[in-house]
């Protein structure tokens, strides 16, 4: 399978969804290396634009994502990973999903924090 990494300067968006519940957990980006590592290891790997490096989801927090299914969109430029979320949170801010806020006139937090990021991530 050949993804089209050319459209976004070597990156493709990756939508991450809980395989059991269908809940969208996060959106991240993959480059060719992250894509290959994901397929080789069965764990979700991404490319961090802000840190300019490859990273495996959960490498610091332990909240690893085990890939159960992989879907490619019709243009070969977006990936959907259905994952088993190991640990209770996908979001680095301590929530189950990165989409923990809802806009309903104002932006409201709709999830409870699962962990304290200051206690999990080294600075």
- Helices (H) and strands (E) in the chain — how many of each? 2, 8
Does the annotation list 52 as a binding residue?
no
Cα separation, 113 vs 61, whole angstroms: 14
Residue 77 labelled as part of a binding site:
yes
| Residue 76 annotated in ligand binding | no
Q: Is 98 marked within a binding site?
A: yes
Structural tokens at position 19: 């395989």
Is 6 known as a binding-site position?
Answer: no
Q: Is 18 annotated as a binding residue?
A: no
| Binding site per annotation, positions | 73-75, 77, 91, 98
Annotated binding site for Zn(2+): 74, 91, 98
Mark the binding-site residues for Mg(2+), compressed into ranges: 73, 75, 77
């Amino acid at each position: 399978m050949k993804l089209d990494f050319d459209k976004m300067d070597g990156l493709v968006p990756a939508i991450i969804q809980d395989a059991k519940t269908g809940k969208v957990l996060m959106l991240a980006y993959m480059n060719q290396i992250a894509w290959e590592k994901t397929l080789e290891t069965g764990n979700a790997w991404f490319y961090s634009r802000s840190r300019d490096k490859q990273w495996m989801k959960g490498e610091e927090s332990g909240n690893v994502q085990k890939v159960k299914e992989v879907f490619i969109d019709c243009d070969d430029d977006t990936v959907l990973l259905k994952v088993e979320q190991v640990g209770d949170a996908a979001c680095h801010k301590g929530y189950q999903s990165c989409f923990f806020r809802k806009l309903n006139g104002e932006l409201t937090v709709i999830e409870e924090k699962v962990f304290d990021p200051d206690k999990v991530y080294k600075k």
